Every structure is written in C-alpha cells, then in structure tokens.
C-alpha cells in the first residue's frame, strides 16, 4: 500500500453519529472501532470510537475518533493530518522531519493494535499522526 495523507477529526463523544452522517453524505464503507475493541473494555471510554475510517468509492478517506476523557476537544481546533501506510522507512522519515522542532505527544512506537504509531505537533502548530501498518 502506498502512503496516504488524509484528515483526521477529533470529536467530543459523537464520532459515531458524525461518521455515519459523512457516510450518508459521501457513501462508501465505514469501519468503526471502540476503545473496548482495542483492548480497553474497562475504560470509561469503552463505547466511544477510538478509530473510525470512511473510504468512499470516489477515493476520499476520512478518519475520526472521540477524544478520550480528560482531553479537551474544541470544534474548529479538532483536525489533525494522518499519514499512514506500510513503507516504514518513508513514514519514519516523514516523522523525523515533522517532529523536528515540534512537540511529540505520542512517541512513534508499537501500539496495542499492532501498528507503529506516533503523534506530534509540528513547529507550526499542526498535529500530525503517523501510522505504520504492521507486516504480520
């Protein structure tokens, strides 16, 4: 899979409804995973969306999730950019450049869902998420 860049929207507890709405608008296939699906069944956020992805027949990809408890979510300031794929060298190179001079919120490392993932805010205040798909 080639690397791809797409928007990632954070929601304040209504990601399921929002992403289902966008599916009605754009069509396509929607996959929703809760925090419980990813290994946190006892979390107060267990039923919230940890990761949702809409892929349309027209080639659009829109991702989104509910902000976890304790994390502020402000509409208008709730969009990140996601880079994902399986070319680890390419994506690590992007990560190094994007995080240089910025702030690392989540180090790029293996996560509970099996992929390598990291999140940073670049020197211009833009949030970036990098996900390297596992090659299991």
- Sheet of 79-85: strand order equals 29-34, 49-55, 61-66, 4-11, 79-85, 127-132, 116-121, 103-110
pLDDT digits over 10-39, tens only? 888 899 999 998 999 889 999 999 999 988
Find the CATH number of the domain harbouring 33.
3.10.180.10
Decide if 22 contacts 62 (C-beta within 8 A): yes
Q: What is the pLDDT of residues 86-129, one digit of tens each?
A: 999 989 999 999 999 999 999 999 998 899 999 999 887 888 99
Predicted model pTM:
0.71
Q: Which domain holds residue 93?
A: 4-132
Number of domains in the chain: 1
């Amino acid at each position: 899979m080639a690397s791809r860049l797409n928007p990632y929207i954070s929601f304040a507890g209504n990601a399921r409804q929002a992403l289902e709405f966008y599916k009605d608008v754009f069509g396509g296939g929607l996959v929703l995973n809760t925090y419980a699906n990813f290994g946190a069944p006892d979390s107060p956020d267990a039923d919230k969306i940890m990761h949702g992805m809409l892929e349309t027949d027209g080639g659009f990809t829109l991702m989104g999730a509910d902000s976890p408890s304790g994390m502020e979510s402000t509409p208008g300031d709730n969009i990140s950019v996601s880079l994902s794929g399986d070319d680890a060298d390419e994506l690590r190179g992007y990560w190094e450049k994007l995080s240089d001079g910025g702030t690392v919120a989540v180090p790029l490392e293996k996560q509970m869902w099996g992929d390598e993932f990291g999140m940073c805010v670049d020197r211009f205040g833009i949030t970036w998420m990098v996900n390297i798909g596992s090659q299991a």
